[in-house]
Chain A
Amino acid sequence: MKKYDVFHKTVRGASHIGRGTPCEDASTSFASVQENEKYYIAAVADGHGDPACVRSGAGAQKAVDIALDCLRIFAEAVLHPDTELDSIKEDLFLARKREQHMKQLTDTILSRWSQAIYADLINNPLTDAELQAVGNSAADYYYWLKAADSNLFEEGNPQTCASKKLEHFYGTTLMAALLVDDMLILLHQGDGRCDVFYQDGSVDQPIPWDDRCQGNVTTSLCDADAAVSVRTCVIDLSEKPILACYLGSDGVEDSFRNMEGTHVFYRKLSCKLIAHGLPNFLNYLEQTLPEFSTEGSRDDISVAGIVDLDALSSHTAEFQEIAEAYDRKEKIYVLQYKQEEYRKRLNEDMPRKLDILRRQLDALFNELTDLQTKKEQCENTLHRLRQEYTAFESDTEKLKQEQDDAFPKFAIEEACRNIINIPQYHPADAVQFEKKPQETQEYIAKQEFLLQQIATLQKNVDKAQQEYQAYKSKYKQAQEALRAIETALEELSAREESDRKDEDNG
């Protein structure tokens, strides 16, 4: 049997780092390289980010550990059947029997995973914070705990007492591969992708897809129908030898807009693997996958693989070429998409917002102008009132002075009142003018109120003006970005054209 190598690597996603949540992926790999005992295993699992799946990281780790254990037992059984008649290997190529063996294998994994979950719940009860996170499922958990305390488990089986399955606290996907005795056995529940590269350099994803996995929704080991929805596949390597089998969590495929991107990702990985050698390759993954997550899906990333390095090395040039062609094509596609997006923004979205911001600013300006006019009117009135009052005070003072000066003659004047017409200080005039200070105070208060309103409005105007100017700058930046995209596209098209001509001439 050929010699293969295995590897696995999991890194915490950029979004998990940003939110301060732990890595919820897990991966593992194993190679048994003894003579007559050669088999290879790789597995990845992706715990759900749903807040109710409070222990999905632990669920993922348990899933890969249990899958590894079960696949090792399965590999041993394939390599060392109990009797001549009991040849699993032969059965695996007969549809009906293959189904039975696969069902037994996946049922065992699911059952052991479920047992491990309930054992963990007994040994590590949910914390207060976890209970809060699981929401309404806490009631199911309490019911189950009560049953556990009362020792009500039927035949010691804690699952039977849960009114609702509690496995979803540990919800995870699982994908695993076992290469044994010229067979590649694959099993999968949930999302993530398995890329298998064949000797002729071609690639496919042999595990049937489950259409229920879409967007951020996935099937799971914790689903009620998990036992019947795990997908499996067996490849006869004597007929279809492989270069590599890669397993990746959805953090990989979600970084690309199409599946070709995922294939190219693994082609590039293959080239790096050959260039670095296995030990350095793991360091390379450790260093580059976090950045890959940051600039791609931002999710946790897990990759694992079973690879035939010797066979793979003869394909690196071809893989490199395909990857470069894809990158060029993808760059053009992305630029064209962005060009379209910027045009939409510049022609419709941004002018609409600018127009509304302008109108809002104009309305605020008008309001401010109105207030300023009112304030000026108020100031004029105040000025007039003050002038009138000052004049009145001055007149009154003058009249009083005149009366005081004339006091000695007052008696005579009083006697001659009907004959001589002398200007007098009338109390009625005083009443009229005594109102002036009160009116003045009212206008002063009005002026203060208007000044406050103007100050507030002025702030709003300044804010609106800043927002308008900032958005105008954004508009200009978008125009520049579009120009840069168009220039880049022209350059790329010119280069493509030149390459085509060179090819035609050469």
Chain B
Amino acid sequence: MPIIDNLKETPRRALHIFYVLDTSGSMEGESIATLNRAMRETTEALKEVAEKNADAELKIAVMSFASDVHWLNNSGPVALEDFIWEDLTAGGLTEVGAAMKELNSKLQDDVFMKSLAGAYMPIIIFMSDGYATDNYKKQLDIIRQNKMFRRATKIGFAVGDADVKMIAEVVGNSEAVIRTTDLEVFAKLMRFVSVTSSVLRSQSSTQTEGTTGADVVKEAEEQGVVDSQDLVEVLPDYSAEEPWVDPDWA
């Protein structure tokens, strides 16, 4: 059939899931071990989703950040069939600003978002157990200008004594932040949130009904995966796209 001849080679639209994971010194011990286990289980679960999802090609990119940032696969997001988890180790500071800067540099059409058949807006899952040790707000202001970051489904995990406000600022909405001190709950939620958001994200929606991180968290609450006590109370609106200026640093 001549009409579709040239489509034989057309791949599916890509759906990128970015994990931005805190591996600073405070994650040492049980926390990093749980994170490694959670991510191993999550990527296995995502493999099943990827096999069943004929509509989108799921790709994964994992960035760990501490005193510096590191991508598990330097060459960019990897199809789930080529991805394998390798345990991360903890140590160093919590340079959130450096992580935002690196993410912004890769969250571009011609860098990590390159795709033959186009790409869905990405999913970004941010996890931290501490407080930023750098001036992350400046880099956050910059990445907020990035259209893909703005429109991404962003979900935050505040583990232990994490700076919930900082995580809410990163994901732009405190309703998209899950706070937990129970590492087992964290492992379960990481898997649920990754799978649910990747399924929801590949469905067309209106601009107001589009899948947000808050929708995914709400879904987790409705399905009983997360207790309401694990959710962060609604904080002031952090979704503002105007550059944020800290009076102390201005």
A residues contacting B by CB (< 8 A) are 14-15, 18, 46, 48-53, 135-136, 168, 171, 212, 214-220, 222-224, 250, 254-257, 261, 264-265, 268-269, 272, 288, 291-292, 295-299, 323, 326-327, 330-331, 334-335, 337-338, 344-345, 347-350, 352-353, 356-357, 474
Contact = CB atoms under 8 A, between A and B. Distances in A.
Interface in B76-115: 76, 78-79, 81-84, 86
Interface in B54-72: 54-55
B9 A334 contact: yes
Contacts of B8: 295
Nearest to B147: A214
A297 B117 CA distance: 9
Among B6, B13, B121, B210, the most chain A Cβ lie within 10 Å of the Cβ of B6
Nearest to A269: B3
Contacts of A337: 116
B7 A217 contact: no
A323 B6 CA distance: 10
Given A50-B205, A298-B12, A292 B54 contact: no
B10 to A, nearest CB: 6
B151 A217 contact: yes
Nearest to A250: B204
Nearest to B72: A352
Contacts of B202: 216
Interface of B: 1-10, 12-13, 54-55, 73-76, 78-79, 81-84, 86, 116-121, 147, 151, 200-211, 218, 222
Contact of A298 (B54, B82, B118): B54
A349 B78 contact: yes
A268 B7 CA distance: 13
A344 B75 contact: yes
B3 A272 contact: yes
Contacts of A219: 206-207
25 contacts: A15-B54, A48-B205, A49-B204, A50-B205, A53-B205, A135-B218, A136-B218, A215-B118, A215-B120, A216-B202, A216-B203, A217-B206, A218-B206, A254-B13, A257-B118, A264-B6, A272-B3, A298-B55, A344-B75, A348-B74, A349-B78, A349-B79, A352-B84, A356-B86, A474-B81
A291 to B, nearest CB: 6
B121 A217 contact: yes
B205 A216 contact: yes
